[in-house]
Amino acid sequence: MKTYFRSWFLWMAILSLAGKSVLAQTTDAKEAGLNLSRLSDSLETLSQQVSPAVVQIFSSGLAPVTDGETAGTGVLARQRSIGSGVILDSEGYIITNAHVVEGARRVQVLLPTSPESKSPNRSLLKAKGKMLEGRLLGLDRESDLALVKIDGKGFPFVELGDSDGSRQGQVVLAFGAPLGLANSVTMGVVSGVARQLKPEDPMVYIQTDTPINPGNSGGPLVDSNGRVIGISTFILSQSGGSEGVGFAIPSNIVRNVYRQLKKSGRVRRGVIGVYAQTITPLLASCLGLPQAWGVIISDVLPGGPAHQAGIKEGDLVLTLDRKVMENARQFNVNLYRHSVGDNVVAEVLRDNMKLQLDVRVMERADDPDRFAELADPSENLVSKLGILGVSIDPKISQMLLPLRKVNGVVVAAKLMGSSSGGAELQTGDVIYSVNRTPVKNVAELTHALNKLETGSPVLLQIERRGQVMYQAFELE
């Protein structure tokens, strides 16, 4: 009898625990469902908040033919590109990628449809949005950003956030028109911050696994607060489609470029007149430095802003604007974000003394892209060299360092995908002669090259950064 009651109590206890377990699982499932529903509602709200400010951009212009029988003959064809953009101001200022609108003769902006009606009978098929003419106010090839303006007021817009606050694993949404599918949104995370794709390049990017495809270029990467932390710009892909390795221009770089393009239509890059190096253990040992990491100033431009502020060769840069400097790349990246005329505060260590010095940012003198905005593909194309050339005149002369000769042609831009003809020219080079015949302008340069056949020897006399040199090659 005791055994019976003992078994009975044991079974009742097991059933009670099982019931509580089932009840707990049911409660957990309901809670998980509620959390998922809340997440879905938040994403939907965020999408509805941002989407009205995301536009599709259509640009058309003339570009040299690079394929087929007419390739390399100077023939221009109308080309059309499609990308995305985001409105950052209620008066219709739109940021996008420079490669979306570069060379465009006409820019059109497709606004999204107006906010959906609350009517339960509304159609799922949205009507096409309103198409407006856009004006290209300026572009910056170095950051691959451009500013487009549409006429009107009261446009929905979103604000730029602080990309310095981006963290690996942070949830982000990418908006745009991938493959022409207007006003699409995808979700992912920040895969990495401050990605530098070229050695010593001050441009850095936010890496994300958010699906980005052709057509997303210029669209916003948005955080959970609805602020733009980046502008989608390119992907790394072996297939041509999204493989989860996309890159966005950080909003703190976008902000600087946006303000300058809005104000003057061009971007002036700033420097302070120093050469900064990363401290290595070997360098620290050789110089007897108190630390084996960080940044050391190895050269100071005489009379430059840093020199005037009191920075000296051998100073260790501890912080720049209160941010600890771990290497020279970080130092250059932080300077890159500043506009000409800004002040930066550098904390340096000299002879065991910490000094705080205010340094004014000056304009970089050798910006190679400063001529590109003056070139028009229909007038400045030198097809046999694959360049856009600008004839030197008094205005151009003021933009150059003192030249060794009066007349010539400045290489304003190199055309991507076009044959260089065998020449190894750089942006900013000045061409003085072809086969010892002086060329005073683009027309004379083009005429001299057109007389030559493929395989002909060519001798260019050029000036590059103050040095005159010859460049010999066979015309391809």
Q: Which residues are catalytic?
A: 99, 144, 217
Determine the Cα–Cα distance for residues 395 and 432; give it in Å rounded to an integer: 18
- CB burial of 191-210 (b: ≥16 within 10 Å; e: otherwise) equals bebeeeeeeeebbbbbbbbb
Determine how many CB atoms are found less than 10 A away from the CB of residue 357.
Answer: 16
Which pairing describes strands 316-320 and 437-438: parallel, antiparallel, or unpaired?
A: unpaired
Decide: 205 and 248 in contact? Cβ < 8 Å.
Answer: yes
Decide: 72 and 418 in contact? Cβ < 8 Å.
Answer: yes
Q: What secondary structure does DSSP assign to 163-216, as a single string? A: GGG--TT-EEEEEE-GGG-SSEEEEEEEEEEEE--STT----EEEE-S---TT-
Determine the Cα–Cα distance for residues 109 and 135; give it in Å rounded to an integer: 10
Q: Closest by alpha carbon to 458, among 439, 432, 435?
A: 435
Determine the Cα–Cα distance for residues 330 and 241; give it in Å rounded to an integer: 32
- Please report, for the chain, how many H helices and E strands are present, in that order: 9, 27
Determine how many CB atoms are found less than 10 A away from the CB of residue 406.
Answer: 9
Determine the Cα–Cα distance for residues 408 and 405; give it in Å rounded to an integer: 8
Q: Closest by alpha carbon to 348, among 295, 427, 408?
A: 295
**What is the token pair recorded at 183?**
């006003």
By CB atoms closer than 10 A (0-12, 13-18, 19+), residue 189 is middle
Determine the Cα–Cα distance for residues 451 and 455; give it in Å rounded to an integer: 12
CA distances from 222 to 109, 349, 388 (A): 21, 39, 37
Give me the phi and psi of 400, to 5 degrees please: -110, 160
Largest CA distance in the chain: 121
